[in-house]
Structure 1
Amino acid sequence: MLYTNVTRIKDFFIVGFPGLSPEYYAPVSALLFVLYLVIAVGNIFILVVVKCEISLHKPTYLIFCHLALTDLAFGTVILPKIISKYWFNDSMISFYGCFVQMYFVHSLGAVNSFILMVMALDRFIAVCAPLYYTSYLTNTRVLGLCGISWIMPMSWMVGEVLDALRLPFCGSNIIVQCYCDHIAITSLGCANVREVQVVAFGLAMFSLWLPLGFIIFSYFAIIIVVIRVSSSQSRIRTLSTCTPQLLITFLYYMPRCFMYLANIVGFTFSVQVRIVVIMLYSVLPAAVNPIIYCFKTSDLKEKLEKKLFSRKINISIKTA
């Protein structure tokens, strides 16, 4: 254990996965590096395709772009540091660098949650009020809603970071986690940290449960509308338009809700298992979401198939 006897420590040390044997450092760092490449390539690909295809400049795909941007940013915030820990044995992160990482971890997580709420609104209007969809949900309004989804969490997280910075740190500087988060940092404070943690927990629950409540309401209304459709083919076609959004929402909320509910009922995990689960639900959706966009969204899938088909034709013509 590393300690410091000054009131303001200069560095934190990232533990990563507790108990991991040094012989597994190289495979773990390589796996995390590949995962980061998948996140970067997949989400940049979505951003480029939607940007270049004018026909995809629609509310649904603009929302996908914002999700891709948050996934790309989130992966960039947390993965390089933990990769360097296991690749280069670099566990140290500066005091203020840790707070900067904490800021982006929590603000980007909340942004993702609110953008999922905008996505649910998109499907709610498309299914429940299709005649008004083009007038109610224009590109400008979607961009405005997504902009609010970015501004709100990034604004209140400044206050959370400043509250945490006011705490005196005079004991351990060990972060038992793969990245700096609010609980890990404030738990190291020497003063009474309960008030700071309660405020942060309240904002975290607000950014999680408010969007989730609206999402549940939206899809409940969508299911009612779909049930009333007489044609089975129309029901399947309508539900298929919601499949990408449902999968993305499930990947984001299900593990988080499971962890919170497990804590409420008193089911506890070991530190090692908890950190692995947190890392899985933090980074896996960012890697999987681009695949869902491509294979579960008809317009995007069609555009990609046309491009690949035309490229095959051009190659065959050149080789003929």
Structure 2
Amino acid sequence: MLNTNETRIKYFFILGFPGILPEYYGPVSALLFLFYLAITMGNIFVLVFVKCERSLQKQTYYIFCHLALTDLLFGTVTLPKAISKYWFNDSIISFYSCLVQMFFVHLIGAAHSFILMVMALDRCIAICIPLRYNSLFSNKTVSVLCGISWLVPTMFMVAIMYEILRVPFCNSNIIVQCYCDHMSISNLGCDHVREVKIVALVLAMISLLLPLGFIILSFFVIIAVVLRISSIRGCIKTLSTCTPQLIITCLYYLPRCFYYLANFVGYSFSVPVQIVIVMLYSHIPAAVNPLIYCMQTKDIKEKLKKKLFSWKIDSTTKPMQDKTWQ
């Protein structure tokens, strides 16, 4: 069932985490469900909160919303199938459903990378030329740049999909991963695989290294500008405005760079460890980012404190009012 000599297979088998015994399927599915719950609730909260608070409808928070949207969509694309594998023992995914999942997995990942570049540009302009910030980096500019950040990966993925559809599959149909990604699918092809992998690698490097290079350059520029400030307190205060962006960027890039560099220098991980690492660096940031937006961003934190304080006052005054009426 899992191996075929057909040139076009109809189903893929999601392997998930290799070696897990059936008695552990329940805890694994529960853990994945908690991850998905944290991702959905946290990122939906950020989107709704910024939408409802007019004072937060600014450039930086629009970028946060796009990042929250990518995290929400990535979790929604990848985790439900992984949960159903261990919850309902449903490991089968149709051929075209797998390709659609692959399309959105890499589209959302690349879009997240480009939006991080937009976020770095936002901080660079805000710190280096603050007097012209609103004119150079308006809400409209942010919308256009974030739109491009979605459009460019979409074009990349159309090219990759065109290439992968030309590949005949005549080997195993086992996806050695918790979801369908390009590497897992292309490894199952029996012809034109080298060309497909080269195209995907080039586009992946553009999506990863171009934004990363720009982000590193922008932070060097920011540090150079901040060092010119005579007051130490002023330096710290200015750099503190970059704290959320820096944490979010590090959470996205550092695990990926470590993983790729480890493979590049010849340190190979076992298949189960590889799958766990990929799942962790793909989903932990998506669950943690909403906390960073709320706890490390001054405006959002102050708005949340005011909301909580007003709710607390309302909850204490209402019983007193009811008592006086009695």
Which TM-score band applies after superposition, normalised by the shorter structure?
over 0.9
Give the match for residue 82 of structure 1: 82
Query: Matches of 1:62 and 1:48 in 2, distance apart?
Result: 12
Q: Shift of residue 279 of structure 1? A: 0.3
One-letter amino acid of the counterpart of residue 136, structure 2: Y
In structure 1, the residue matched to 2:175 is: 175
Identical pairs, percent: 68
Query: Structure 1: any 5+ residue segments left out of the alignment?
Result: none
Secondary structure in structure 2 of the residue aligned to 1:134: helix
* Cα shift at 1:154: 1.1
Q: Deviations over 1:116-150 (max 9, x none)?
A: 00000000001111111111000000000000000
Give the drift of 1:192. Answer: 3.5
- The 5 A counterparts of 1:49-128 are 49-128=49-128
1:45 pairs with 2:45: yes
Secondary structure, aligned partner of 2:269: coil
In the TM superposition, what are the counterparts of 1:94-243 in structure 2 within 5 Å?
94-243=94-243
Tell me how far apart the structure 2 counterparts of residues 22 and 223 of structure 1 sit (CA, whole Å): 52
Specify the code of the residue in structure 1 equivalent to 2:133: Y
Q: 1:5, CA displacement in angstroms?
A: 2.7
Equivalences, count: 320
Structure 2: distance between partners of 1:205 and 1:186:
17
2: CA distance between counterparts of 1:243 and 1:213?
Answer: 19
| Aligned residue type for 1:178 | C
Partner of 1:275: 275
Amino acid at match of 2:274: R
Report the alpha carbon displacement of residue 19 of structure 1 after superposing the two structures with TM.
1.0
Give me the TM-score of the superposition, normalised by structure 1: 0.99
Q: Which amino acid aligns with 1:135?
A: S
Secondary structure in structure 1 of the residue aligned to 2:93 = strand
Q: SS at 2:236's partner residue?
A: helix
Take 1:155 and 1:42, find their aligned partners in 2: how far apart are those partners?
A: 29
Local SS of the residue matching 1:317 = helix
Counterpart secondary structure, 2:3: coil
Moved more, 222-231 or 82-91: 222-231
Deviations 1:257-283 (A, max 9, x none): 111111111111111111100000001
The CA distance in 1 between the partners of 2:319 and 2:33, in whole Å, is 37
- Measured after TM superposition, the shift of residue 225 of structure 1 is 1.1
Partner of 1:296: 296
> For 1:318 and 1:70, how far apart are their aligned partners in 2?
40
Residues of 2 paired with 1:156 and 1:170: CA distance?
26
Question: For 1:257 and 1:190, how far apart are their aligned partners in 2?
Answer: 30
Aligned mates of 1:116, 1:6 — CA distance in 2: 42
Distance in 1 between residues matched to 2:271 and 2:107, nearest whole Å: 24
Q: Show the counterpart of 1:258.
A: 258
Query: What corresponds to 2:14 in structure 1?
Result: 14
> 1:171 Cα deviation (Å)?
1.8
RMSD: 0.8
Question: Secondary structure, in 3 states, of the residue corresponding to 2:13?
Answer: strand
Structure 1: 4+ residue segments shifted above 4 A: none
Helix, strand or coil at the partner of 2:12: strand
Matched residue type, 2:278: I
The CA distance in 1 between the partners of 2:152 and 2:68, in whole Å, is 19
Q: TM-score, normalised by structure 2?
A: 0.97
Whole-Å Cα distance in 2 between the matches of residues 269 and 142 of structure 1? 40
Judge which range, 68-77 or 19-28, deviates more: 19-28
The structural deviation recorded for 1:159 is: 1.4
Q: How far apart are 1:285 and its partner, in Å?
A: 0.6
Once the two structures are superposed, residues 155-212 of structure 1 have per-residue CA deviations (whole angstroms, 9 ceiling, x without a partner) of: 2201101210111112210000011011100110111401110110110011000000
Measure, in 2, the Cα distance between the counterparts of 1:19 and 1:162.
Answer: 34
Deviation at 1:48, TM superposition (A): 0.3
